[in-house]
Structure 1
């Protein structure tokens, strides 16, 4: 049972990556547009002639603001499509359109049920219970509605996309059956949600109140748990409800009830009336900036200084690349996995310090939001450029500065005290460093093979072999940095073969296998799919 739950959760977390990957671009559009069309900002910097109403730049920035806003306004539909696409094993495009159909029909059915029972009238339901979804006045389900539709459609799709109907109805068989069955099923789901969701809505809001009432301790627990789930690839599953639903709070902004920490922040960003960003919303985001921008570089420096002298030059290149990736893009897995598998204790310290970072940002009213991650770009755009009066971004710097030596000295002490085999300290016969393609070539040279770099097909063949053969692979996909595979027989998986393909690490939980490569994992996945298709 645990294996099944893990497999479902890791695939669900993976399916969130497509819509989540859209948020940085939408956030940049909205961020630049809202920042430089805000009259207060224009007046403060005396740039009325450059950015004032009627200028070319003002027109362009207004368009950017609108383009970014529409993404955040329609995230539920985007998640319905993205989750259905990500969870589908084959014929993904059919699952995507069926996800949209299921989502629309579910909300239309809910709206009809509300109308029949006279609940669309003003005051019939509590404030915030209703919301407009693509012009449909329905229950405010937020991203949860999209996830429900996406998961339901994906389950129908994976079961029926090869269905054979009697000759008379054969035209409607196969993939054509999926939007049909989705429409029928989600009419029923809509009726069911009419009765269930109000109770769920109240439970979510009460749970959000419980987290909020826990105050600073609740913020620490959130930050600690979010980091602790990174190795299992389940951090998106944990964080998304806080960022996108009433679990992260609900606020009335310009007369509109907005739920979810991310949605509250960007609604405030778009509002010209915002004097200070809500810390109760940004406490689920702001805590990343101090340890992303200061803590992780401190850890990297400790790993470098504790490396063997003859290996420091190599380690410097690896750590510099991984650290810059973390700081500039917010993708921290390359540096985190460099010490996770060699020294889990260090990762435990990292999780505790991350929780403290979140808590301190809450205590000192840091109101900096984010889109995809706590990168330097997000910090400048949504913190510095918004002004210290609105975000208290300087406090994030003041929290981050002492985090650097705390990370550095705690990591350095533990590495030396317990002789952890972090990058650059490994034995010559037992490498535990960050792997690159050059490392893979070196392995082949040492074993007497060709000095030419291994081709993608060779890497794919090695991965397939490490997974127990093509027949043992039930499901294959990837997220930002790792392959996510479901296998039929986990005993056939060979970790050493997978690591020899250039993987930084392998995470296994029953039939769920995650092989970590880094940002170029999509190229590996594409080559792997081609190879698997060729063997089919």
Structure 2
């Protein structure tokens, strides 16, 4: 189980590279699509300026191309994310392998006489980078990424006979990956129609469960958050037929997110896909309103002498959640000291998803449910398309629900949320940090102190204990050789909101600045 967690966290974080490009693409498509829409232009005559419309059209096209080629982006991203070294070669090999896979599928369809001449969507086919192939979607890209990463990690140091020496090492990876992609293409040709049918049936089960299914989706999504495995859970609903299938402008799209962004660029869209309300929109209620109530409850229940410190912490975490939808800094303030509060939070989040489904709130998102996505994909798209006005109404209720529930339970059970810790515990924590050679101020800000990267590495057991190091949106994700050498208090003293260790997999939650921290550590390791 512990080995599974380590592999699952590496698999989950590999999704973050392709997912990270979506906000920029969504921003272009959201603004460009919304402000070049015929109905919007008619409503706001100021937008009828020709050169302005040219700009918006270019923005919309620039955003659309990303979502139209997500499978290729995921193939490259997964390979790069899972490669232990020489990540650039892994990305190039994955791109070549993806093209070869689709070319192989095309050849098999042509040889068998199954290459559709018209109505490609009905035959489960489409044109991918100029190649008519089966619509394997993001799942096909992920498969190629996994195959490439496996071959890269196994053979990127291979030594060939001297007369073939030029093709050894990293140069061997694009060759072997492309060769393997032929067989992946043949396998996809044989099994994909059956897989596609199975996905459609699973999607039917999800639909059949109605509001209850939506509630459990939201609950399990939130419960997987602390483990960092939530990306694995929601991605099939966002990117495959499990999240629905819809024809938009003559082309079939699979997955809630793909359907939403296809409709976003379609001027004929009058109402967004209902799957958006099931698998996306509930996040806005929790992230923009519910958790703010929790933050206020934690502040109000803090000891008087600690309120100033806790107030700054909660304000920062609440603003992060409200604006960007990144919730870990706030959630991890109570997760470890009061786990059952987190279970209640997950239940409330599931209810928020269910209410979004009931009221048919169809606000999409690129990454998370914060104010930025709410404005772009809710307000700017219009009430008729999204029912966005329900969000602040339900959100006000959710704010009160979180506030009074958290305040009651914290006081009733004397939970040690921030600002309520026993004085002895605070002093012991500072003493432990000092004993580990780590400043008690939590952020290593003193100029005479050791570099933050070295302090973090020491707390992780030293450079020789690091097997793999990467990050996602908010977490440093590390595989270590000996988990016993990891000093959790030492990591928390560097500003970590929380630390999660399972087997040799370690997750250190720093918040949105984690990518900077990861780069600092890698640069320090290269210089030592």
- Map Cα deviations across residues 446-492 of structure 1 (whole Å, 9 max, x no partner): 99xx993565x533233223222222211111111111111122233
Give the C-alpha shift of residue 271 in structure 1: 1.1
TM-score by length of 1: 0.93
Correspondence 1:12-411 to 2 at 5 A:
12-45=11-44, 47=45, 50-52=46-48, 55-122=50-117, 127=122, 129-411=124-406
* Distance change >3 Å, CA 446–CA 524, structure 1 → 2: closer
- 2:310–2:419 CA contact under 8 A, matched in 1: yes
Q: C-alpha displacement at 1:216, in angstroms? A: 0.5
Taking the aligned partners of 1:214 and 1:293, their CA distance within structure 2 comes to 27
Which has the larger displacement, 300-309 or 490-499? 490-499
Structure 1 unpaired stretches of 5+: none
Q: CA deviation at 1:81?
A: 0.8
User: In structure 2, how many angstroms separate the alpha carbons of the residues matched to 1:306 and 1:30?
Assistant: 43
Distance in 2 (CA, whole Å) between partners of 1:251 and 1:446 is: 53
Of the three residues 463, 466, 491, the one matched with 2:459 is 466
Please give the alpha-carbon distance, in whole angstroms, between the structure 1 residues aligned to 2:269 and 2:262: 9
The yes-or-no answer on 1:452 pairing with 2:446 is yes
Q: Is residue 2:506 matched to residue 1:507? A: no
| Change beyond 3 A, Cα 1:292–1:243 | same
The separation in 2 between residues aligned to 1:252 and 1:440, in whole angstroms, is 62
1:345-372 CA distance string (max 9 Å, x none): 1111110000000000100111111111
Q: CA RMSD in A?
A: 2.4
Counterparts of 2:271 and 2:448 in 1: how far apart (Å)? 54
Seen in structure 2, the aligned counterparts of structure 1 residues 27 and 128 have a Cα distance that, compared at 3 Å, is farther
Alignment partner of 2:423: what SS? Answer: coil
- Correspondence for 2:468: 475
TM superposition shift of 1:381: 1.5
* 1:112-170 deviation per Cα after TM superposition (whole angstroms, max 9, x unaligned): 11111111135898726112211111111111111111111111111111111111111
Q: 1:257 aligns to what SS in structure 2? A: strand
Residue 512 of structure 2 is matched in structure 1 by 519
- SS of residue paired to 1:474: strand
TM-score, scaled to structure 2: 0.95
Q: Secondary structure at the match of 1:216?
A: helix
Task: Give the drift of 1:302.
Answer: 0.3
Match of 1:4 in 2: 3
Partner of 1:489: 482
Deviation of the 1:294 alpha carbon = 1.0
Cα distance change on mapping 1:137 and 1:34 into 2, 3 Å:
same
8 Å CA contact retained: 1:249, 1:281: no
Q: Note the C-alpha offset of 1:498.
A: 2.1
Shift of the 3–124 alpha-carbon distance from structure 1 to 2, 3 Å rule, reads farther
Q: Deviations over 1:418-450 (max 9, x none)?
A: 111111111223249x99xx9999973799xx9
Q: Matches of 1:454 and 1:402 in 2, distance apart?
A: 49
Q: CA deviation at 1:272?
A: 1.3
Q: 1:445 to 1:214 in 2, by over 3 A?
A: closer
Distance 1:446 1:519 in 2: 20
Change in CA separation of 1:445 and 1:288 when aligned onto 2, cut-off 3 Å: closer
Q: Secondary structure at the match of 2:522?
A: helix
| Alpha-carbon distance change, 414 to 443 in structure 1, aligned in 2, over 3 angstroms | farther
Contact 2:246–2:253 under 8 Å retained in 1: yes
Number of residue-to-residue matches in the alignment: 524
SS, match of residue 420 in structure 1: coil
For the Cα contact (< 8 Å) 2:439–2:493, is it kept in 1?
Answer: no
Distance 1:368 1:441, change over 3 A: farther
Q: CA deviation at 1:91?
A: 0.5
Correspondent of 1:528 among 510, 521, 524: 521
How many angstroms apart in 1 are the aligned matches of 2:445 and 2:252?
Answer: 62
| Matched-pair contact (CA < 8 Å) for 2:116–2:125 | no
- The corresponding residue for 2:411 is 416
Q: Say if 1:388 and 1:394, in contact at 8 Å, map to a contact too.
A: yes
Asked if 2 retains the 8 angstrom alpha-carbon contact of 1:88 and 1:157, the reply is yes
